[in-house]
Amino acid sequence: MELSYVMVTPYTVAKSRTGGVIARLLSRLDLELAGAQIVLPDGKFVADYAALLRKQNFPNQLTLLADYVETHFISGGRPHRVLLLLFRGQEACRKLSDICGALHAENRGIESLTGETIRDTYADLIVDPLNNEQVTYFEPAVLTPRNQKDALEDLALIGAFLEGKENIAANMDYPSPSKIEKTLVILKPDNWNYASSRPGTIIDMFSRTGMRIVGIKVHQFSLEEALEFYGPVEEALKKKLAPVFGRKAAEILEKEFQIELNEKIRNLLTESFGREYAEREFQNIVEFMSGRRSGSGAGKSVKTMILVYEGEGAIGKIREVLGPTDPLKAPGGTVRREFGSNVMINTAHASDSAESFNREKNIVKIGENGLRDIILEHLGH
């Protein structure tokens, strides 16, 4: 059982290609996505990481990756967003290396390109046609260690660097800061039932808004978190569903016993059976999100991914791409229309206001990220 990582470069993140990279990784690997975090490298990390790359890589790649890290992770004194993806499983390093791909000169014949690996699709290595040793442009798209020895060295450095670091990246000076909003998105458990490109595809769909991802983490809701998160909708759900279930119960009773129920009995059915059934639906939502049900100690492990998007009008733009609660009523091209099943299992959540964002981010503790703890546990610290 190995632990390794994929580091998505600042250029790939800035070009909103993260969804495509994640989709490729998740759909073609039998590895567990154990953690994810947006980081802003500092000068010491850049120097130390570049030194490790120079020590670890093949002679002909001795300076390419290290030079890239030194010149592109920080520029003009400003750190750039880097996405760390942590994977766990058998032969994790080999599998990640295979899917990330080798560094090839992209100025060879166009027909020879396959797009099979991540670097085939997103990387560029262009050399001078008159001097094959002179690189004129280089963008690796992703970085990943070739073996577990290198991975453990890198992870030790990453783990030390992450101590005390914020989980929300703040490296942008906006011309109109008052117009900038943050919003919270949750990719719900139905996206993680099996190896699939769905999570990455959904992120790719949100990228059309032009909003920046400034925070990300893999999260498992506790029962308490799920109850608090969805608490505000509990009473609204009962008011909406209780009359529906009460009316349906009345229809079944009238048909079964060949009688006509009066309004008083119908209201009693709504306030008793209807509200009870609506409560059960609320508990189904809680169980869906946390894997656990109130009053039950048993449960299962379910995964979500939480993202924070930032930009002008972020809340409205993200919700427009998300679509309404009921996938059947959502317009074509929206996330919920494409991937939602019903109003209960509708694939993703997005904050509907600044107040909701502030409440929700506190519940899921968006300022915290367990990625460093996973690394330290694997290293035996």
* pLDDT per position as a tens digit, 146-185: 999 999 999 999 999 999 999 999 999 999 999 999 999 9
Same domain, residue pair 245 and 139: no
Domain assignment of residue 65, given as a range: 2-167+370-379
Same domain, residue pair 25 and 144: yes
Same domain, residue pair 23 and 109: yes
**355 found inside a domain:** no
Same domain, residue pair 252 and 150: no
As for how many domains the chain has, the answer is: 2
Residue 147, pLDDT score: 94
**Domain boundary residue among 241, 274, 290?**
290
**348 found inside a domain:** no
**364 found inside a domain:** no
Sequence-distant (6+) residues with CB within 8 A of 121 are 20, 24, 115, 141
Read off the tokens for 215. 């925070």
Q: Return the number of other C-beta atoms located less than 10 Å from residue 326's C-beta.
A: 13
Instruction: Give, in order, the Cα–Cα distances in Å from 251 to each of 8, 264, 268.
Output: 57, 14, 14
Residue 361, pLDDT score: 97
Strands, E assignment, 223-317 = 304-312
Same domain, residue pair 23 and 133: yes
- In the predicted structure, residue 105 carries a pLDDT above the cut 90: no
**Domain boundary residue among 290, 323, 340?**
290
**209 found inside a domain:** no
CATH number at residue 148: 3.30.70.141
Same domain, residue pair 76 and 143: yes
The catalytic site residues sit at: 349
**103 found inside a domain:** yes
Residue 114, pLDDT score: 61
- In the predicted structure, residue 318 carries a pLDDT above the cut 90: yes
